[in-house]
Structure 1
Amino acid sequence: MVKVVQAFLAQPGVLLVLKTLASLVGVLFVVQLARWMNLGGDVRIRDEDHAGALADEAMCGFVPVAVGLDKARIGALVRDAQGRVMLIRRHGSHFAARLLESHAGVRLDQQFLTVSTGDSRFGTITLNLGPDAQAWAASLRRLEG
């Protein structure tokens, strides 16, 4: 039996094939492990309540009174009773949020609202707010700056 295995391994290219198969099995194992742990995936904001919960998670006590949800559900604008507006956007498999302090980085293009916070790490996001885009753009003009 040992001689048969040695003869098999002595064949040219057999070790390369075995290494490749072992690597493939390892990759498939990691993929299955990631699925089991619910890592990655296509994370979206489910609805307006979810956007409000994300805003409260980002800033404790932020109670939304209005939510502008992107059609693709990758971002949202959330306003509270004090007039503060929070921008929420997808960041990998999580969400990031910033309070908007100025309307300087806001640009309206029909139903699309492009918002930049000035924070280079947060970046710029274009939200498809549909017919609500104009109302949100007008309300953001009330912010200082």
Structure 2
Amino acid sequence: MKVVQAFLAQPGVLLVLKTLASLVGVLLVVQLARWMNLGGDVRIRDEDHAGALADEAMCGFVPVAVGLDKARIGALVRDAQGRVMLIRRHGSHFAARLLESHAGVRLDQQFLTVSTGDSRFGTITLNLGPDAQAWAASLRRLEG
């Protein structure tokens, strides 16, 4: 017992023990977050997933065309009525907005920058590859 007390009385020993205990605590929290599937890099898996996200955002929105960003962080989805929904990653979830007009749309080669006018939703640049020009042309048909 006296040996333990003498060991703990040395300068710096308590500091090292506190640091190790803190490190173990952080590692336990990281492991708990992994176990609970918190955080991570959320992406749109494929066109079907983008369609499901659009239907989740607006019940009955059935996609007929999907423009999926190369990085899979956003998508444009069109239904049979000609409505276009913009889907973008928002934290670990996805947010969606119907596009009302083409006013906030800019084409730059294979990149389409879309702004909804909603400051909370922000602006997103989608890499649609060769489909970017076709999507930009179709968005010009929107009112506004």
- TM value normalised by structure 1: 0.97
Counterpart of 1:39? 38
**What SS does structure 1 have at the residue aligned with 2:2?**
helix
Deviation string for 1:80-133 (max 9, x for gaps)?
A: 111111000111111111111111110000000000111111111100001110
In structure 2, the residue matched to 1:102 is 101
> Structure 1: where are the runs of 5+ without partners?
none
Deviation of 1:65 after TM superposition, in Å, equals 0.6
Alpha-carbon distance in 2 for matches of 1:7, 1:122 = 61
Q: How many residues align?
A: 144
Is 2:71 the counterpart of 1:72? yes
Secondary structure, aligned partner of 2:7: helix
Q: Tell me the C-alpha RMSD between the 2 structures.
A: 0.8
Deviation of residue 137 (structure 1)? 0.4
Q: Which runs of 5+ in 2 are unaligned?
A: none
Query: Share of identical aligned residues, percent?
Result: 99
Shift of 1:62: 0.5
Deviations 1:58-88 (A, max 9, x none): 1111100100000111100000111111000
Q: Tell me the secondary structure at the aligned position of residue 66 of structure 1.
A: strand
Shift of 1:50: 0.3
- Partner secondary structure for residue 65 of structure 1: strand
Alpha-carbon distance in structure 1 between the residues aligned to 2:82 and 2:4: 75
Looking at structure 1, the residues matched to 8 and 22 of structure 2 have their Cα atoms a distance apart, in angstroms, of: 18
- How far 1:42 sits from its partner (Å)? 1.2
Query: Partners of 1:120 and 1:22 in 2: how far apart?
Result: 44
Deviation at 1:34, TM superposition (A): 0.7
TM-score (norm 2): 0.97
Q: Distance in 1 between the 2:97 and 2:8 partners?
A: 60
Structure 1 residue 6 displacement after superposition? 1.4
